[in-house]
Amino acid sequence: MISSHRILALLSIFGVLGCATEVAIPVTATLTVQNTSGESGSPLSPGVWWTSETPIFELGTAASAALEALAETGDPSALGAAVYAMEGVSASGLIGDRNNADYESSPILDGQMAEERIRVNSGEYLYVAFMVGKSNDTVLMNVDAFVVPRPEDDELSLALALIDVGTEVNEVFGEGQNQPSNAPGTDSGEEENGVLTLAGSDIPLDAAAYPVRLRSEAR
């Protein structure tokens, strides 16, 4: 005869006592980014989004060649292709860039908004990345995971940060000859063999001026 303690242990293992892992639910949602930075702010490049089991980029680590390409030129295509091929990435795509355009042809200017309809699963970790046009190698992205909500959760905001990827020496904000806002497509600035860090005071922007939201559709 099975003891009561054994029964309780089995019930706990199989989640009958409320300890089961939540089942992922497919979510169709609209991902939006808005530029409200004003005249003293900066345009953004088209961006990349993805869901993954663990972070791909972390503070204190060196940038990949694909992230460097986004940060220095504003072209998201290399990073989009890289994350698509990565193990552990379940979904990915571009936002504000349906036709593989880049910063030169499709900047997200002050007062503009870009959006993309995406399909992901609840409970997955969502990440986004955009280049800051008036910088040499700064991106707007989240380093902390954002958990995709269940479909009944209407709209949530992503907390982003300004990240210096450490691949090119910073020039004066908005004035550098190697910044995409002044020389679109360039990546010829002075090289810097650094790591990802939070951007300093030489990037006079507030990440909150670029709200990114995920709005779920009703099932």
Task: Give the residue extent of every domain in the chain.
Answer: 24-216
Q: pLDDT digit string (tens) for 6-31? A: 433 433 333 444 444 467 788 899 99
Q: How is residue 68 annotated by DSSP?
A: H
Which residue matches tokens 């910088």?
135
What does the alpha-carbon distance between residue 100 and residue 90 come to, in Å, rounded to a whole number?
21
Q: Are 65 and 78 in contact (CB under 8 A)?
A: yes
What does the alpha-carbon distance between residue 164 and residue 169 come to, in Å, rounded to a whole number?
10
Q: pLDDT digit string (tens) for 110-133? A: 999 999 999 999 889 999 999 999
pLDDT of residue 145: 82
Amino acid residing at 125: Y
Of the two residues 186 and 18, the one the predictor is more confident about is 186
pLDDT of residue 20: 40
Q: Topology of domain 24-216, per CATH?
A: Immunoglobulin-like (2.60.40)
pLDDT average, residue stretch 150-178 = 89
Weakest mean pLDDT among 96-100, 150-154, 157-161 = 96-100
Q: How confident is the model at residue 98 (pLDDT cuts 50, 70, 90)?
A: low
Q: How confident is the model at residue 95 (pLDDT cuts 50, 70, 90)?
A: very high
Q: How confident is the model at residue 188 (pLDDT cuts 50, 70, 90)?
A: confident
Q: What are phi and psi of 84, to 5 degrees?
A: -60, -35
Q: How is residue 35 annotated by DSSP?
A: -
What does the alpha-carbon distance between residue 135 and residue 163 come to, in Å, rounded to a whole number?
11
197-200 contacts at long range (C-beta below 8 A, 24 or more positions apart): 197/59, 197/60, 197/163, 197/164, 197/166, 198/59, 198/161, 198/162, 198/163, 198/164, 199/135, 199/138, 199/161, 199/162, 199/163, 199/164, 200/164
Q: How confident is the model at residue 93 (pLDDT cuts 50, 70, 90)?
A: very high
Cα 149–155–156 angle (5° rounding)?
65
Neighbouring CB atoms inside 10 A of 173's CB total 20
The radius of gyration of the chain's CA atoms, rounded to the nearest angstrom, is: 20
What does the alpha-carbon distance between residue 18 and residue 36 come to, in Å, rounded to a whole number?
44
